């Protein structure tokens, strides 16, 4: 299960790194933000994910929220239920990355 979780993280990071279509990038960041609230990566992947989020944070609002979610998940454990629909159906436009996906 840990390997599968790491693979999910890696695929989402790949999706948001340099993707030519901004709407896909935005969806990826939204998904990454949700993931970090549900489960942490393995201890092996954690430093890489943390660095990725730190490096992306200044230009990406969802990178900062993902960092916060990850810190809470590590400290308190992940969510047990999905967030309410109004939290997950926010307009993607509100999460538009400052510089597109070109990180």
Q: Among 3-7, 30-34, 43-47, 99-103, where is mean pLDDT lowest?
A: 99-103
Does residue 85 fall inside a structural domain? Answer: no
Cα(45)–Cα(48) distance, integer angstroms? 5
pLDDT single digits (tens) 22-79: 888 888 999 999 999 999 999 999 999 999 999 987 667 888 999 999 999 998 887 6
Asked, for residue 2, whether it belongs to a domain, the answer is yes
Residue 59: phi and psi, rounded to 5, are -110, 5
Cβ contacts of 61 within 8 Å, gap of 6 or more? 95, 97
In a domain, 46, yes or no: yes
In a domain, 66, yes or no: yes
- The whole-number average pLDDT for the span 74-91 is 65
Domain limits for position 34: 1-15+24-52+61-71
For residue 81, pLDDT beyond 90: no
Q: How many domains does the chain have?
A: 1
């Amino acid at each position: 299960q840990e390997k599968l979780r790491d693979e999910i993280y890696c695929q989402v990071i790949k999706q948001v790194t340099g993707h030519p279509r901004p709407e896909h990038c935005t969806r990826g960041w939204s998904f990454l933000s949700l993931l970090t609230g549900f489960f942490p990566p393995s201890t092996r992947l954690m430093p890489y994910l943390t660095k990725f989020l730190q490096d992306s944070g200044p230009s990406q609002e969802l990178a900062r929220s993902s960092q916060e979610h990850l810190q809470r998940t590590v400290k308190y454990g992940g969510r047990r239920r999905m967030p309410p629909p109004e939290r997950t159906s926010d307009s993607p436009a509100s999460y538009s990355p400052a510089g597109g996906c070109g990180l």
